[in-house]
Chains A and B, each alone.
Chain A
Amino acid sequence: MRRSLLFVLMLVVLAVPALFAQDLTLPMKNGSTKFAVIGDTGTGDKHQLAVAKQLSATRAKFPFGFVVMVGDNIYGGNTPKDFDRKFALPYKPLLDGGIKFYAALGNHDDPSERFYKPFNMNGERYYSFKPADGVRFFALDSTYMDEKQTKWLDDQLKASGSDWKICFFHHPPYSSGETHGSDETLRTQLEPIFVKYGVNVVLTGHEHFYERIKPQKGIAYFITGSSAKLREGNISTTALTAKGFDAGYTFMLVEIAGDDFYYQTLTDTGKTIDSGSVHRVGKVDPTPNRSAQPVVATSGKDAAKPAPDKTPTTK
């Protein structure tokens, strides 16, 4: 009797996280582009392992084809053992399953990581890739944002005919973090280029929490820097914040179907903390003088509220 009770109890304990993991709201349309986003991952500690485990488990329900890493891929030492402990082992089930990882360099990364094949950087600090027709990603090195790189980005975006232009890099141009906050210098360098060529979505990390920013100049910004490190209570909610979560470790799932970019953010226990969609609004002709082009509109819990004109307020 006791054994049966123990067995039932164990089943319940095991089933609870699984139930959470089943709580997926993404449409899972045929032919859509599915991927995951993780950031500030390379610690090799239990938190990275927990997120990695949940990410692998989620793939059974949401078969994403690749993972975008927004930097700080290897913290601390970077010996061959570190590459194993902080990347290859945590994501082994995904790597074994043929999932590709595309990394951007963070401020804690050694630029020589670009030669590590599993990061798919083609030996470059910044690069682009096209996982599907109509979708192109641009990985940037935000630690060394020089003229050469901004010229490269300008040329790449100009030449890109993709409907979805997604940039990913480490430092967030918009953030409500108390520790770092918005990187305004980087914003000054990149935002005009994003606006000019109609970049739709920007994925970043650096801040050890999750934040979805209200669209800025028609661009959707996400921060996913808590896939292994966490700064609890670090979000000083501003008018920029559409959704912030600084109480747990997270990763993002994304599905692009037609003109919609669906997102769902989960914790290491599989709990959904944010979900919604970004809708692409038409094509953008390069017009550097216009400051707000209709690139995206979002839907989600907080998306309907317009961003105020006034200086942001704290919570």
Chain B
Amino acid sequence: MNVIRLLGVCTLAYAVSAVPAAAQTKAAPKPPRPQISQTTREQAAAKNANPDALVLADFQKRIDAYMAVHKNAAKDAPPLKETKNPAEIKKAQEMLGAKIRAARATAKPGDIMTPEIRNKFRRLMYPVVQPTARDKAAPPSPVKDVPVTGTPVQGTSGKAVKADVKEELKENAEEQEEEGGKPIVLKVNAMYPPDSPLPSTPPQILMSLPKLPEQLEYRLVGKTLIIRDVEANIIVDFVPNALQ
């Protein structure tokens, strides 16, 4: 009986000590594994090319195709021009948006951000928010700055970017709350709700992604990365769980 009791106490003690230890050593999320289709692999092999380069080239091709639609629609829409009346800006956006929507009426999630492009984007964003060699070399310090003189540090540390992302997400949520708390429904080809805040995206993340034409922009809505047409205010496509 005593042996059973002793075993019970030992098990309990182990459990109590193991839970916080496990929490402390919570492993950083693993980097997303490359998911490249067989077709892309075969094409890459045939061209002696890097499969990732083909994925990004495919992304560029799809963006170009979208921009052809955008430019065609813009020919018949009133141009965005400087005005004192913000309603005119919104009206111009809506009219262009309606024409683009009509031209790509069957658009659906993944038309531009295909599964392998989504995966590539997740892999591009992942390292930006991970601790860098600089983070690992120096112990955490309340001072986030670099020495006033000396060699300038190249880039911001991953920890700082991650903290910044957290802060941005928090601020976005607060803004959302202040504006009435309506959830943002992400729907390809739909208008980005003008009464919802446009969440901000840290520049370090933006710099890690393929450059977009000036008419388009990336925005981080929670952990979802959207491509938004600025001139038409429509959601072009998105990457769910982009930030891992």
Q: Is the CB of B156 within 8 A of A76?
A: no
Residue on B nearest A180 in the bound complex, by CB: B164
Q: Is the CB of B145 within 8 A of A110?
A: no
Q: How far is the CB of B204 from chain A (nearest CB, A)?
A: 6
Q: Is the CB of B147 within 8 A of A145?
A: no
Q: Is the CB of A309 within 8 A of B149?
A: yes
Q: Is the CB of B230 within 8 A of A110?
A: yes
Q: Which of A108, A185, A216 contacts B207 (CB 8 A)?
A: A185
Assembly CA distance A83 to B71 (angstroms)? 28
Assembly CA distance A78 to B152 (angstroms)? 38
Interface bits B143-168 vs A (CB < 8 Å: 1, else 0): 11111111011111000100110011
Q: Is the CB of B149 within 8 A of A236?
A: no
Q: How far is the CB of B39 from chain A (nearest CB, A)?
A: 32
Q: Is the CB of B155 within 8 A of A184?
A: yes
Residue on A nearest B176 in the bound complex, by CB: A76
Q: Which of B80, B147, B167, B200 contacts A310 (CB 8 A)?
A: B147
| B38 interface hit (Cβ, 8 Å) | no
Chain A residues with CB under 8 Å of B194's CB are 77-79
Chain A residues with CB under 8 Å of B36's CB are none
Q: Is the CB of A311 within 8 A of B147?
A: yes
A80-B90, A171-B203, A236-B144 given as contacts; is B197 within 8 A of A108 (CB)? yes
Q: Is the CB of A112 within 8 A of B80?
A: yes
A76-B197, A110-B198, A122-B82 given as contacts; is B203 within 8 A of A182 (CB)? no
User: For A146, A181, A236, A239, which residue has the most chain B Cβ atoms within 10 angstroms?
Assistant: A181
Q: Is the CB of B179 within 8 A of A183?
A: no
Interface bits A133-151 vs B (CB < 8 Å: 1, else 0): 0000000001111100000
Q: Is the CB of A182 within 8 A of B82?
A: no
Chain A residues with CB under 8 Å of B230's CB are 110-112
Residue on A nearest B203 in the bound complex, by CB: A143
Chain A residues with CB under 8 Å of B89's CB are 112, 115-116
Q: Is the CB of A309 within 8 A of B148?
A: yes
Q: CB within 8 Å of A: which of B73-122?
A: 80-87, 89-90, 93
| A89 interface hit (Cβ, 8 Å) | no
Assembly CA distance A314 to B142 (angstroms)? 8
Chain B residues with CB under 8 Å of A125's CB are 214
* Interface residues of chain A: helix, strand, loop or mixed (majority): loop
Assembly CA distance A80 to B90 (angstroms)? 8
Q: CB within 8 Å of B: which of A179-213?
A: 179-188, 191
Q: Is the CB of A236 within 8 A of B142?
A: yes
Assembly CA distance A310 to B149 (angstroms)? 8
A75-B175, A188-B155 given as contacts; is B203 within 8 A of A116 (CB)? no
Q: CB within 8 Å of B: which of A43-73?
A: none
Q: How many residues of A contact B (CB 8 A)?
A: 58
Q: How far is the CB of B138 from chain A (nearest CB, A)?
A: 10
A77-B197, A107-B201 given as contacts; is B146 within 8 A of A182 (CB)? yes
Q: How many residues of B contact A (CB 8 A)?
A: 52
Q: CB within 8 Å of B: which of A86-110?
A: 106-110
| A240 interface hit (Cβ, 8 Å) | yes
| B223 interface hit (Cβ, 8 Å) | no
Q: How far is the CB of A129 from chain B (nearest CB, A)?
A: 14
| A258 interface hit (Cβ, 8 Å) | no
| A117 interface hit (Cβ, 8 Å) | yes
Chain B residues with CB under 8 Å of A308's CB are 148
Q: How far is the CB of A188 from chain B (nearest CB, A)?
A: 6
A83-B86, A171-B203 given as contacts; is B80 within 8 A of A115 (CB)? yes
Q: How far is the CB of A199 from chain B (nearest CB, A)?
A: 16
A76-B197, A111-B230, A309-B149 given as contacts; is B83 within 8 A of A180 (CB)? no
Q: How far is the CB of A297 from chain B (nearest CB, A)?
A: 16
| B211 interface hit (Cβ, 8 Å) | yes
Assembly CA distance A238 to B163 (angstroms)? 19
Chain A residues with CB under 8 Å of B85's CB are 80
Residue on A nearest B215 in the bound complex, by CB: A111
Assembly CA distance A278 to B191 (angstroms)? 47
Q: Is the CB of A182 within 8 A of B145?
A: yes
Interface bits A160-189 vs B (CB < 8 Å: 1, else 0): 000000000001001110111111111110
Q: How far is the CB of A107 from chain B (nearest CB, A)?
A: 4
| B206 interface hit (Cβ, 8 Å) | yes
| A247 interface hit (Cβ, 8 Å) | no
Residue on B nearest A179 in the bound complex, by CB: B167
Q: How far is the CB of A22 from chain B (nearest CB, A)?
A: 34
Chain B residues with CB under 8 Å of A118's CB are 84
Chain B residues with CB under 8 Å of A184's CB are 146, 152-156
Q: How far is the CB of A109 from chain B (nearest CB, A)?
A: 8
Assembly CA distance A131 to B84 (angstroms)? 21
Please report B residues at the A interface, Cβ cutoff 8 Å: 80-87, 89-90, 93, 142-150, 152-156, 160, 163-164, 167-168, 175, 178-179, 193-198, 200-204, 206-207, 211, 214, 217, 230-231, 233
The 5 closest A-B pairs by CB, nearest first: A107-B200, A181-B144, A77-B195, A83-B86, A80-B87
Can you name 9 extra interface pairs (CB under 8 A) apart from A184-B152, A309-B148?
A: A106-B200, A142-B203, A175-B145, A179-B163, A185-B207, A236-B143, A238-B145, A309-B149, A311-B147
